[in-house]
């Protein structure tokens, strides 16, 4: 084979093997080498597709050594495919390091589309799909995680995150405290038999998870920061916005509906907050 080869970034099924594309099968049959994050898992996929290829282990812990080796292989004129455990390589995945190495060497990088957990969750969330921001996995340390959440708190876009089950409740509690009780969708087991969604507010999701301990990796979709009030630089808290409308003589039911829609929170949640605030005010008198 004359000249340089190509690096194919192959999206793999995130659960349901019926999501394998015809193009993926063709590419896997075409390339001389398959690099994979988990070779045992990838071998099962290749066996399912009746494809036999040489496998190379490429993951976060060996990318510094395996990456240049793979690039040299491609530069010598051989095509290679990069596969992650599920979904797209290079998204919350060490594949992005390999892509940069390939581009630095002038190697052609070819994406081969397929399933993706973030987009699957987004389009089925019921939350505004555009614009959106993908944050991947949050930092593990509490300090760095909270710093990151504060940095992203005011993004005027839907936010998509990935999270492990053992950290999910902690992360959602931090989001509720730092961002407020926003609209949320949680998705797990996407495309699988037990695919499941929760849609509601952050506080409601915490109650749901408390009664049903989380299992499996979750995709989190959160509504963006409330839009500025009247074009001003910063937005009023939803309860304060509601009180101003009521003070101006607006109908309570209509005002609750308007504010809930503007801030993407539930009417019941806003009404309960108003009742609680009024009760606390009477107690102080």
| Arithmetic mean of pLDDT over the chain | 89
Question: What pLDDT score was predicted for residue 283?
Answer: 52
Question: What pLDDT score was predicted for residue 120?
Answer: 96
Question: What pLDDT score was predicted for residue 282?
Answer: 55
Low-confidence ranges of the chain (pLDDT < 50): 1-2, 230-234, 284-285
pTM for this predicted structure: 0.75
How far is 17 from 32, CA to CA, in rounded Å? 23
Q: Does domain 118-222 have CATH number 3.40.50.970?
A: no
Q: Does domain 6-115 have CATH number 3.40.1010.10?
A: yes
Question: Domain residues of the chain, as ranges?
Answer: 6-115, 118-222, 229-284
Question: What pLDDT score was predicted for residue 280?
Answer: 62
How far is 42 from 81, CA to CA, in rounded Å? 12
Read off the pLDDT of residues 148-181 as tens digits, 9 standing for 90 and up.
999 998 899 999 999 999 999 999 999 999 998 9
Question: What pLDDT score was predicted for residue 276?
Answer: 81
Question: What pLDDT score was predicted for residue 118?
Answer: 96
């Amino acid at each position: 084979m004359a000249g340089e080869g190509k690096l194919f970034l192959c999206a793999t099924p995130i659960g349901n093997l019926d999501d394998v594309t015809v193009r993926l099968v063709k590419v896997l049959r075409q390339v001389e080498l398959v690099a994979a994050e988990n070779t045992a898992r990838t071998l099962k996929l290749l066996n399912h597709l009746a494809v036999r290829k040489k496998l190379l282990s490429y993951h976060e812990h060996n990318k510094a050594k395996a990456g240049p080796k793979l690039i040299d292989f491609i530069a010598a004129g051989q095509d290679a495919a990069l596969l992650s455990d599920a979904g797209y390589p290079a998204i919350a995945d060490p594949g992005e390091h390999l892509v940069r190495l390939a581009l630095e060497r002038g190697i052609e990088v070819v994406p081969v589309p397929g399933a993706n957990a973030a987009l699957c969750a987004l389009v089925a969330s019921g939350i505004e799909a555009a614009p959106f921001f993908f944050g991947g996995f949050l930092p593990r340390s509490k300090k760095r995680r909270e710093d990151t959440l504060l940095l992203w708190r005011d993004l005027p876009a839907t936010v998509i995150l990935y999270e492990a089950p053992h950290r999910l409740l902690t992360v959602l509690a931090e989001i509720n405290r730092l961002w407020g009780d926003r609209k949320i969708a949680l998705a797990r087991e996407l495309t699988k038999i037990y695919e499941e969604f929760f849609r509601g507010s952050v506080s409601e999701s915490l109650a749901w998870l408390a009664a049903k301990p989380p299992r499996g990796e979750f995709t989190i979709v959160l509504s963006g920061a409330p839009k500025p009030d009247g074009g001003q630089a910063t937005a009023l808290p939803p309860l304060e916005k509601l009180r101003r409308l009521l003070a101006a003589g607006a109908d309570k039911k209509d005002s609750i509906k308007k504010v809930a829609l503007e801030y993407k929170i539930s009417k019941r949640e806003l009404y309960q907050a108003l009742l609680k605030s009024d009760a606390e005010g009477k107690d102080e008198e």
